[in-house]
Structure 1
């Protein structure tokens, strides 16, 4: 039995770690390949892969570690220096959200609450995915920081809106959830500080195990509240970043150690996140059809085309940026893949949407992974920015 589980695990690891790398030569993003592998292998050998219960565990670890890392990536100093510009960008995103909600509510049979949740799935930028892609680009540091801060703040704002809308049918529960989240946010940095300074300060190299454990606890706490792992993981990541900055300022760790700890979180997410995308592909394979594929593609073109034009015009007119820079930034802030898939997964599990809508959202999110390729083509054609 144990040898069978091990063999299945090794087989799946080989598939998920090697095949996406091969397709990267053709500029196909790893996330896209992993989702498509889940869909295709689910069709070919459905019973075989559905019996692998460890996939769900590894998938959960992947999405938790990814959102911890996303929280750590927040650069509060840059945000404070550029808050007026970033608030203006958030206002534009909020306006786009309202228009999207209105369109969904009037073009479908979904009520305002469900339309709002679907709209959030369609337009919330996937900060971690975007940041990971921005790193590969030969663009100046200020432009990178601007893109990162833009999408991180948007993701934070939309996460809180998601919490509001998902609990809209039960105001009492919503108030309780907000209260408990507020209490957790208040105590979390104090818990980290207490455990590190008072309990584990003499243990060598305890920083990463402690912080990862805190991240897991935070993730499971918000999941217990009826939200999702990502909320608690993201909150933990924000406070972990602040904690590491404090350690560096107090000279308990140096900059090299800090970067090493952050890179460890990144490595963990890179190892386990493929299982998450693969599991999503497995769950959607039975609902793929030409009609659903066409709807997802149409949504992708209309929504992202509109978002792109709005951001492009705003950046050129308001900030007098160059056309090349504006074009690049407007493309790079569009991908929604991870947030779209996570929200779609939650809505399906809560029976808020049907499997067909779930499949449309997953395919839509998958299509957005190709947007950075357009940006890379732009850089290759016009040179560095």
Structure 2
């Protein structure tokens, strides 16, 4: 079998089989991840193909570009106080778990910080892709969306600092390069909008994706992986919505969802191929189950208690919000890979993190109404965070026209029609 045919068969399998298994409430990303692990057992290092690595990079970049486009500054400002309280609690949790890992697991402070981020940070892009399938109401969707987005912004900032803080000179250089990226991306978009888009109608989506990939590659070369740059490009594109409405339009968002549908499964499969067989022994299983038993109830309980105390929500609604925020799949896989490659994390702990993230990713699909799927093209609101929760708004009266033959009448009444 030629390599080209093998890649085509792999793409076909990853686009069809995981979705077929969703009837059993198995999340499609988990199926893709397990398929990658199985491929390593069957074919060994032959699974580490450069073409697969490229498709994987495009997949993770498109997922975080999509997450950046979902950021709504107006929604974040509108409810900044409860979001700030949520972030303070999350930051305290990260610090406490990082300290425990540094104190008792014999890890350096950078590795301990990354481990805390890996097990506590919800994967926003993945969560946003699943909201319409979880049976949440508008208020619950609003809070899940914005808590996940706010948490990811903080986590990406922490990731950048932790990875670069080992050398002050590297941190200064990388910070300068990141600042240049933040300044340069809007200028690039504006230049493209002035000199390219008018002469190439319909090219906005292609330009958005290409700039996202360039931003992802820049931050990858800085040593902070693809996701930071792709997320920044998505946020910038959303902030330019008023000046360049076609850039972050609903059509482009939908197109990006379809684009991610094709490439994201390659990332999960590729991540599975980087889990060595030695990482899935009995010790890894015990540690993974222990992490799940210790951290998952704690994470759910903290969010549940916040919702109950701060908003007086019902126990059921608070629990649904907490459950929807449990998946850490993407963040755990990315940071586990970094810990394994750059900080010497053992194979056993790598396998334990994989087991932990598989279990917490499956939890919402098992307990909430509909199965989770990485496919981001389900019907529903394109920007659920745009609609803030509101308390039974009064109906807006229909416009009234002045009738020359009598008193004002409603525009919809027969008397108002010619």
TM-score, normalising length from structure 1? 0.91
Which of 74, 80, 84 matches 1:83? Answer: 80
Q: Tell me the alpha carbon deviations over residues 275-323 of structure 1, each in whole angstroms, 9 at most, x when there is no partner.
A: 1111111111422112101211210221111111111112101211111
Which of 141, 149, 152 matches 1:144? Answer: 141
Instruction: Note closer, same or farther for the CA distance 1:95–1:351 as it changes in structure 2 (3 Å cut).
Output: closer
Q: Does the aligned pair in 2 maintain the 1:127–1:152 contact within 8 Å? A: yes
Q: Does 1:215 align with 2:212?
A: yes
Q: Does 1:341 align with 2:339?
A: no
Q: Does 1:125 align with 2:104?
A: no
Q: Does the aligned pair in 2 maintain the 1:31–1:369 contact within 8 Å? A: no
Range that drifts further, 14-23 or 370-379:
370-379
Measure, in 2, the Cα distance between the counterparts of 1:245 and 1:299: 45
Q: Does the aligned pair in 1 maintain the 2:283–2:348 contact within 8 Å? A: no
Q: Does the aligned pair in 1 maintain the 2:284–2:351 contact within 8 Å? A: yes
Measure, in 1, the Cα distance between the counterparts of 2:138 and 2:220: 36
**Counterpart of 1:233?**
230
Q: CA RMSD in A?
A: 2.0
Measure, in 2, the Cα distance between the counterparts of 1:100 and 1:305: 15
**Counterpart of 2:7?**
9
What does 1:243-282 align with in structure 2 at a 5 Å threshold?
A: 243-248=240-245, 253=246, 258-282=249-273
**Counterpart of 1:382?**
none
Measure, in 2, the Cα distance between the counterparts of 1:247 and 1:138: 34
Measure, in 2, the Cα distance between the counterparts of 1:129 and 1:246: 29
Runs (4 or more) in structure 1 with deviation over 3 Å come to none
Measure, in 2, the Cα distance between the counterparts of 1:211 and 1:280: 25
Measure, in 2, the Cα distance between the counterparts of 1:314 and 1:247: 38
Structure having the larger proportion of residues in helix: 1
**Counterpart of 1:332?**
324
- Paired residues, what number? 371
**Counterpart of 1:23?**
21
Please give the secondary structure, in 1, of the residue aligned with 2:243.
helix
Range that drifts further, 170-179 or 136-145:
136-145
Which of 305, 308, 311 matches 2:300? Answer: 308
Structure 1 position 245, deviation (Å) = 4.2
Structure 1 position 375, deviation (Å) = 4.1
Q: Tell me the alpha carbon deviations over residues 232-275 of structure 1, each in whole angstroms, 9 at most, x when there is no partner.
A: 00000111222344333xxxx49xx9212111111111111111
Consecutive unaligned residues of structure 2, counting only runs of 5 or more, are: 372-388, 390-418
Q: Does the aligned pair in 2 maintain the 1:67–1:128 contact within 8 Å? A: yes
Q: Does 1:41 align with 2:33?
A: no
Please give the secondary structure, in 1, of the residue aligned with 2:275.
helix
Measure, in 2, the Cα distance between the counterparts of 1:306 and 1:378: 24
Range that drifts further, 350-359 or 215-224:
350-359
- Look at both structures and tell me which one has the larger radius of gyration over its CA atoms: 2
Please give the secondary structure, in 2, of the residue aligned with 1:247.
coil
Measure, in 2, the Cα distance between the counterparts of 1:237 and 1:21: 27
